[in-house]
Amino acid sequence: MISDALPEAGIQYVVLVEEVIPFGSDDHRWQLVKTIPVEGDRATADARARELAMEHVPQGFYEPYGATAGRSVFRVSDGSWLVEVSTPDTYLPTLARITTAEQVHIQEYLPPPADDTPSAPKRRLFRRG
């Protein structure tokens, strides 16, 4: 069997935090809001993800000063955490998903070279004769 896995020493673990972001009154989508690098092994990254699941408050969630939001935390079968955060006045709970991940690739942005940039094709609106 061929394995393309990196040796444990070369693996960089991160904790990903996704939140449900509302778009209008009836629409929403999941969005990655934080990528947290973790020094250590998979067990360290899993422990950090669990800690975040117990304390993370989603962006834009209103929590009155001195209050503690209600929280339901679920360990999902894929190993991620689903978090519901709410207050008694909240119509729907705010959701977050926290996942341990192995970062396998990073590609830095490289702008095109200044001299080799192709010119945009010119279009004719009216064709002549």
Q: What is the pLDDT of residue 69?
A: 83
For residue 46, name the pLDDT band (cuts at 50, 70, 90). very high
Give the whole-angstrom CA distance, residue 108 versus residue 106: 6
Residue whose tokens read 């996704």: 18
More confident residue, 95 or 87: 95
The pLDDT assigned to 10 comes to: 75
| Residue with the two structure tokens 């709410």 | 86
C-alpha distance from residue 25 to each of 4, 60, 86, 96, 108 (Å): 45, 15, 18, 19, 37
74 pLDDT band, cuts 50/70/90, is very high
Listed by start position, the domains of the chain span: 8-103
Residue 125 pLDDT more than 70?
A: no
The whole-number pLDDT of residue 15 equals: 97
- Give the separation between CA 91 and CA 29, rounded to whole angstroms: 18
Is the pLDDT score of 4 beyond 70?
no
Q: Which residue has the higher pLDDT, 101 or 88?
A: 101
- pTM, two decimal places: 0.73
Task: Report residue 36 as tokens.
Answer: 């947290």
